[in-house]
Structure 1
Amino acid sequence: MATFIDMGITDKMSVESPLPVLQKKAPWSSMRETMPDFNDEGTMARFKKYLLAEVDEKRSTLPLAGYCFMTGIINAIIFSAIFIWCGSQTGNTVQLALAMARLLEHDYSFHLVDKQALCSLISFICGGFGGARLGDKIGCKSRAWLFMGTFIQALFTMASAILMWNGRESNVADARDAPAWSDTLSFLFTGFLSASMGLQGVMARRVNSHFSATVALTATWCDLISNPKLFDVRRLVPSRDHQIMTIACFVAGGFVGRALLDKIGSANTLGIGTGIRVVIAVLWLFVPEKESI
């Protein structure tokens, strides 16, 4: 009987007791509480707003310098093999004009180097045109497009590296009439690399910074030598300093590209270039937002 009463009192106290009951939490529960809830509409809205915000072109120095560095690497690889440029299409355009001029001499041959130049020009235009249209829809200066577009450049570069991997023993041409790449695959290499350059050039141009298009230096040299503050060493001049940095990154990229080419070959060098492009894509996500006036 006493036992029954005691049990009843105990049960009643356990039910009505105001003392809190401690529950042991799972070790990952505190981490889960601090993580953003992407199912929350407010969090998703803020994340989308962050991605679609326009970057500040004045604070985009690091990823744009990376673009210039990659131009040097890719041009070093392609020029060493077939004597054309993926980024600068001036030479390829004039080369095609010379090929058409040979028709006046009743020379109807279309040389391999002319075909490769035409492939580079068409691929560059397609990459740039597609990038411009897609960038306009998403927001040409938004973090989302700059990340995605740079990642697409990385995919183009990776595709070239994979295609070069098998049976590509020669990386450097012996003479202009004896290119290192003369097979059908060479047009795929050239096409992918030129498309990545066209996409990069349009994206950099839309950012509208002192780095210009990051694919050619002629305009940069002209801007630099005509800069009225070229010799003003007493203070920082953003326009002049960025132009000097552009040229320096081109030179550094060309040097590194040629040095790696001799040591590890074209495919491995482009593999490293793919990794650099991925890093640049991530950097765009952290560029500060442009302040509204």
Structure 2
Amino acid sequence: MATTASIDKEMLPQPALSTPYSEKDSQLWMAPTTLLTKSHLMTDVDGERSTLPLSAYCFMTGYIDAVCFSAVFVWCAFQTGNTVQLSLALARLFSGPVGQRDTSFHLADKQALTSVTTFIFGAFIGRIGDRMGSKTRAWLFLGTFIQALFTMSAALCAWKSGQGSVADSRGDPAWSNALTYVAIAFMSASMGLQGIMGKRVNTQFATTIVLTTVWCELMADPKLFQLKRRIISRDHKVIGIVALFIGGFAGRAILDKIGAAGALGVGTGIRFLISLWWLFVPGKAAKK
């Protein structure tokens, strides 16, 4: 019996162990021979090996927000601030004695409302991915390409508006005419779409646009100070934060050189490259 048991044990397949992170995550891109085939496009990407395009998403958050905030002091991606600003605008209607209350809808409040509503519209477009497959290469390519089109439209509107790119103070925004409202709308819609796409990939990068939660989770990570090991829950959060910071820096630097329209044109090109990159992200390994 002992002999039979030992033979059966040798014939059994080895347990299906997960590939160590250090080996699995080393391949961040692939060179497919059938790039445009349906099977390749409709395969889900591996979230743990989507580090590069998701980092680029975080970069674009800082980049686009730098352009918008420099012009009108409104965030296209960080809708918490815009939402609170609108609540303050409503509270202002009840401030002071009756007959002397400020009942006007300030320019900054109109711009914040434009950003919030179009951000929601962009996020709603992201639900298309639920039908195509939110993690498929096809949707990640198409959705990012739509972001590029939105950014290009914002660039054209900023260019045709004929207005400046940098505001002197909050009370004197650089943008005030109808075309600049449309530019804010397109930028915010692109961020809303990026946010839901980043969320659906379901990684440590979260939505790629709001980093308050990422900061809190990073500080609460029990392995935060294990510096000699690669910790995906920590490392990817750090990458996202750094990428957003660099994006904000680059956005303002380019803005100062070539203006808002030019900076958004550069952003369009970057987003187009990100859309192509999704086609080369490795897919999920088949479960054994």
CA deviation profile, 1:163-206 (whole Å, cap 9, x unmatched): 11235351110110100001111210110000000000000000
The two structures have a TM-score, normalised by structure 2, of: 0.84
Paired residues of 2:150 and 2:190 also in contact (CA < 8 A): yes
- Are 1:125 and 2:120 an aligned pair? yes
Q: Output the amino acid matched with 1:250.
A: L
For the residues of structure 1 that align with 2:65 and 2:164, how far apart are their CA atoms? Answer: 16
Asked whether the 8 Å contact 2:163–2:175 carries over to 1, the reply is: no
What corresponds to 2:17 in structure 1? none
Cα RMSD of the aligned pairs, angstroms, is 1.5
1:233 is aligned with what amino acid? L
1:199-238 alignment runs, 5 A limit: 199-238=193-232
Q: Between the two proteins, what is the percent identity of the paired residues?
A: 56
CA displacement 1:116-175 (0-9 Å, x = unmatched): 00000000001001212x111111000000000000000000001111123535111011
Whole-angstrom distance in 2 between the partners of 1:98 and 1:151: 36
1:254-283 alpha-carbon deviations (Å, 9 max, x no partner): 000000111111111111110000000000
Letter paired with 1:115: K
Unaligned runs of 5+ in 1: 1-35, 37-42
> Secondary structure, in 3 states, of the residue corresponding to 2:162?
coil
Match status 1:86 vs 2:81: no
Q: Which position in structure 1 is the counterpart of 2:5?
A: none
Counterparts of 2:229 and 2:145, CA distance in 1: 36
1:182 equivalent in structure 2: 176
Corresponding residue number in structure 1 for 2:27: none
Gaps of 5+ in 2: 1-32, 96-100
Q: Which residue of 2 aligns with 1:147?
A: 141
Whole-angstrom CA distance in 1 between matches of 2:228 and 2:161: 55
- TM-superposed CA distance for 1:246, in Å, is 0.5
Matched, 1:280 2:274: yes
Counterparts of 2:177 and 2:265, CA distance in 1? 21
User: Do residues 56 (structure 1) and 46 (structure 2) align?
Assistant: yes
Once the two structures are TM-superposed, the CA of residue 291 in structure 1 deviates from its matched residue by: 1.5
The amino acid of 2:238's aligned partner reads I
- Counterpart for residue 154 of structure 2: 160
Distance in 1, Cα, partners of 2:133 & 2:203: 16
Count of residues in correspondence between the two structures: 250
- Structure index of larger Rg: 1
Q: Could you tell me which residue of structure 2 aligns to residue 9 of structure 1? A: none
1:235-250 alignment, distance < 5 Å:
235-250=229-244
Match of 1:73 among 63, 68, 74: 63
- 8 Å Cα contact 2:157/2:180 also seen in 1: no
Contact 2:161-2:179 within 8 A present in 1 as well: no
After TM superposition, the score normalised by the length of structure 1 is: 0.83
Report whether the alignment pairs 1:102 with 2:97. Answer: no
Q: In structure 2, what is the Cα distance between the partners aligned to 1:241 and 1:72?
A: 19
Provide the secondary structure at the position in 2 that maps to 1:104: coil
